[in-house]
Amino acid sequence: MIRAHGFAADSPTSGLKPFEFDRRDVGATDVHIEVLFCGICHSDIHSVRSEWGVSQYPLVPGHEVLGKVVATGKKVKNFKVGAVVGVGCFVWSCGKCAACQRGDEQFCPACVFTYGGMDPIRKEPTRGGYSDRIVVDQRYVLKIPAGQPLERVAPLLCAGITTYAPLKKAKLKRGSKVGVVGLGGLGHVAVKIAAAMGADVTVFSTSARKKVDAKRLGAKNFVVTKDPGALKPLAGTFDYILDTVSAEHDINALLACLKVDGEMVKVGAPEKPMSVSAFSLIMGRRRLGGSLIGGIKATQEMLNFCAKKKILADVEVIAPGQIDQAYDRTVAGDVKYRFVIDLKR
Ligand code: NAP
Ligand code: ZN
Ligand code: ZN
């Protein structure tokens, strides 16, 4: 066993506290990673607070894991000690089913999430990247292109792939009218990626103060959704909308902004169900869909794409002692635009 020092929640309201636990020994195909940085995704908060159903505690969150290889199993050929690597939202899948074969490991029935899943070897709950080390099978370890500020790459491991995968699937053309709803961790990366793909991006936000940032990030337009009547002039003008909002909001008002045959994809996962009027879809033959992170091949492709296009997350680096405060600020929309934990502090 390998002793790890992490940060865990004991209950939905306990906050995150230091927690020692064991990682499995490094197996033949495993990579032992010393964690340097881990992003705080809103999914960590939903999970810690049991907003998506009752979580298992103690819970060590974290699936935007960036670190250095400190040891490898004897069958590991692609990763050397000292290499900078990443781990995203899952750490196991069957490798054989149709989803795995397609590169959609996240939909494998045996997919094991980085935290809150069941380690297939140890038969114990998986624990995430809010910890000083992690042991992961080589199939789920990503290569990080050299020469980048690592704290700004970490969020790409979830926020990056979650927005890149649906945007790529949308087959955007130069000048496609794309809306990004919610300018948080996912949203700000989505703006950068969609703009890099050539889209004409509009940010839909509840926070008027984010307008200057939205433009700096690559958006051409900015709409404050709380302003009465703000969406009216936009009716029928968007090819595609990516909705990253983490809480309840009016989906029908957003659907109305789509052109005929336009599509809105939800990646934000609010706690409560939301109502969709059939007419929002029927009128204009619009489609509403969803998307869950992305497979390993797509994640590596996204990391390479972002390195080439110089896309990095805008981050606020914190010490582990500040996690509770960062959670509260994220929920309040007060984040620019991703908190990242420096595990060495
Ligand atoms: P985040 O940083 O908190 O950003 C969410 C943004 O949504 C906020 O900054 C805010 O932007 C907007 N918002 C919040 N409350 C709102 C409300 N009541 N009405 C309208 N807008 C509101 O969160 P994140 O880390 O980007 O994650 C966003 C969501 O995606 C979460 O639900 C998360 O669990 C989910 N997620 C899904 C996947 C997936 O695979 N599908 C992967 C990762 C995360 P403005 O201030 O601009 O309005
Ligand atoms: Zn996430
Ligand atoms: Zn599978």
For 247-286, write each residue's pLDDT tens digit: 999 999 999 999 999 999 999 999 999 999 999 999 999 9
Task: Tally Cβ neighbours within 10 Å of residue 295.
Answer: 22
Under 8 Å between Cβ of 136 and 4: no
Residue 228 has pLDDT above 90, yes or no: no
Label the pairing between strands 200-205 and 221-224. parallel
- Please give the pLDDT value at position 97: 98
What spacing in Å lies between the alpha carbon of 294 and ligand 3's midpoint?
14
Rounded Cα distance between 139 and 302, Å, is: 16
Ligand 1 center from residue 69 Cα (angstroms): 31
Q: In this predicted model, what pLDDT tens digit does every residue of 160-197 receive, in sequence order?
A: 999 999 999 999 999 999 999 999 999 999 999 999 99
Single pTM value for the model: 0.98
pLDDT score for 284: 97
Q: Compute the average pLDDT of residues 41-68.
A: 98
Considering the chain, what is the average pLDDT of its residues? 97
- pLDDT category of residue 53 using cuts at 50, 70 and 90: very high
Q: Which ligand 1 atom lies nearest to the CA of residue 266?
A: 41
For residues 114-139, average pLDDT:
96
State the Cα–Cα distance between residues 49 and 309, nearest whole angstrom. Answer: 36
Q: Is 108 exposed, middle or buried (0-12, 13-18, 19+ CB in 10 A)?
A: buried
Output the CA 129–ligand 2 centroid distance in Å.
12
88-113 pLDDT, tens digit each: 999 999 999 999 999 999 999 999 99
pLDDT at residue 310 greater than cutoff 90: yes
What ligand has the least distance to the C-alpha of 313? Answer: 1
User: Which residues, in sequence order, are CB contacts of 160 under 8 Å at separation 6+?
Assistant: 189, 193, 299, 302, 303, 306, 311, 313
Q: What is the pLDDT of residue 46?
A: 98
